[in-house]
Chains A and B, each alone.
Chain A
């Protein structure tokens, strides 16, 4: 996954100018958000995966993932990834994307919505990131009597909880009871395909956030003096940071490979292996990596005033979206067992 595309450069510039974690921590209120969002939207970043004729920027799949890596590197506390994914989902049913922030679901294993014969939607969604504050929702639902549909809903009037995730970002339960959508159309994708795409999105964001905390850890170790020298000179600290580099590297390779598989139009079996493996391994790296970064930074890393928590809290939260490590591992392990021991290596080597 190269970061050398124009889209990625734009994302880096906009996020650095408008979402810099240090500036946000210093600001102590949410006043920065509106301006930042309009810049992001104006640059076409939030609708990168929506074709021109459906109101989007019509960028490549790889470009969208490059934006997502940057959202992780800056711990962007705005629904960029969520709107990107919602736009992708709407496009899969040929529905135009509205302007403004969107949320997307289902995002939890087992959650399902139904479309009744009269066209209304019912059901319950858990763990929908940034639902509160979004203008619209893009959802996948089962049609009563068979088939799958994508629906665009206005957030206005919906029963959206006011929960937040560990980083303070909205992470909401939504109860739908015979809600009329703005649009509903048949689609060729299923719940698993949405979970996979969402998992690949979160994996890439986590990889970006791991890059950032490695950077923060290395800088801090070189600046912080204890026992008469920078703590970077202590072998125990060096080895902790080397382990963090290992986790970060593994996350980058796994998330980058999954994104590349999607961009390259890999077949269903290959996508399942690539994305399930990425979500599992990157989720593990997120847990390990956050723990190491906090150990290196000591007490200061545990405060509101330091930026580290903006990354680690999101790493913890992103692990749970669109299937956790354990959930994907049970699915992947069951499939490997069903295919038999001798099919495992050929499956791995085909990627």
Chain B
């Protein structure tokens, strides 16, 4: 009561009387309370901005148009959580801990988010499993490649090499034992994965860390014992093939073609060391880039390794049980690629393989043979047919087309299956596209319109399409760093190591390789036009500048000859539905949705805060209410604005908002020095308001009906509309909370020296007419603001618009536009269903707003 007595004395004493020392001390104490309140409020607003930024960043990433890793999901979640925690803390500071239950809501949400971000890994399983004990049910422990090989041996009766798998449990135990997991996480999180330079450094550091880490003794012992058992079963000398079999390689939509390392001809003494090399290859540039582009988290891809007896190979290769190109023509055929020696020659794309085509029937019949690098085929006809049988048997067992890697044992003459996996649907679709394009080309003999200079032609279209860009011949790994964005990659051999460049390329040409190679698969995943086995490409394209690659015709022309729209098929969305994407979706559900829309609702409480957005909304609303509460501080420090207006404005100066000390209860607009308030005011008075629009009977009835139903519109009831219109100001800051007509609005502006901090935001809700008309008005205002650089969000009749990160002058110009709209959109909701009048109104508002561009800003 003392405060109010003092206030009454002050108001009664007139403004010209000098204050006494007691009054000054009291005023200073109140100001100190206001400053403390303002500090907390500013902190809360800053945290609010950070939280909303994090949420809109999440929404943008959920469009799935650019890659991101788990590091991003962790980071954005942490950013949002940190900001919201700060808001809760400051709201409780502002309110003397009136909202402690908000902390409980926050803790629940955090716990849920954390659960969705944590991968639980098991180190308790067996460290090694013999191949004879493995089948498809063991895929989580041994990876897809080894599980499938075990299945082939156990249930199809085909020959596979002797061997065992080093399991996912072994991998996790190694990572935990050496402290690698935490160290790798830390390094990955601190790296900009979009920078090839940074990825190079990271890859090197991580691989070195893995290679330097010690093996747990029990793992080393388990591997040695398993190798000793193989040695006992082997007839003579035993060499090993260590093949990567990472979990997730067989996930839907990813091929992982050639991304991980396999090592052949390994002496048994080196098994443990080579196992580490293969684990390290998980962090090769190629593999990390691939996982990043495809949204596969590091933790969800434990590296299992197959340790197999080396097959002395007379020939090797890949057989497709269904040739997808033939399938596109309505024919069922088996396609076999073969090279002399190891199968690696086919999958690595290092040589051009022999090709055999068979009928898809039992027994298969040979239709066509095409030799690759050699003069004669590396397989006899009977051997080739036997391989077609193997492919058909595996297809029948799995009931879907298979991609089978095989070797022909030079000693026994028997076929050994090295790998069998479903022929990827993406491959099949892309190859159908190759075929469709080839047919289209046959009907369009004249290639590009201007008959440009042909630089090189020939080879196999492994991925269809048109690409234009600067030709870049890459010969060594270091060349990757200078590869131009959007260039045409030209290489001598189609090795998987070039895969990291494919997302940056507009096309690719290789002098070797075929359809079944790893790099060809990756090119198809990225829908990158690519031609392999194009002889003489490096010499023909070195230093020629811009070129056009027509993969449909296997030709490269000098210059750019296609419009960009023709040149690139739609970029595939590799992130959507990936594991990382799904994790982000899950945490986004706890961050982004807003349920607390109406502050007047009984459900606008901490208990109903289900997301971080709900908490930010609650904190913001309550903090604004606290700041403008008609309490002792505001009543004492608030000044009534004298500006010849009928509207009642009360102004609280946080510091620097008035030109001089104002001792009386009234302040003149000429005494204001707050740049944002002056800008807003300038917009409010720039164009005289013509009054509310004439209303049709329907519009009028809508208002009448709302007036009877909405308690806030009942003039005698104590309600939120009794709230005064308040300005909280400083020299560079302004917050207005006001009621205009039947709608409520908040304008907030910071226009200081730091562009990064500057913003102006506008919220309004409500109106006199029915919900449909109110929503239309909100949409109209949003449209108008979006034309002037605001980001606007409309939910029902609520509008939130913000412009940020602009220099102060631009922020003030936008604030002036808001001042204009505040006045001129009053009561216009009533005419929003009258299309012509609504359009005319919108046009007039837009014209007036455009005319403000040439108006000088007010200022002192």
Are A and B bound to each other? Answer: no
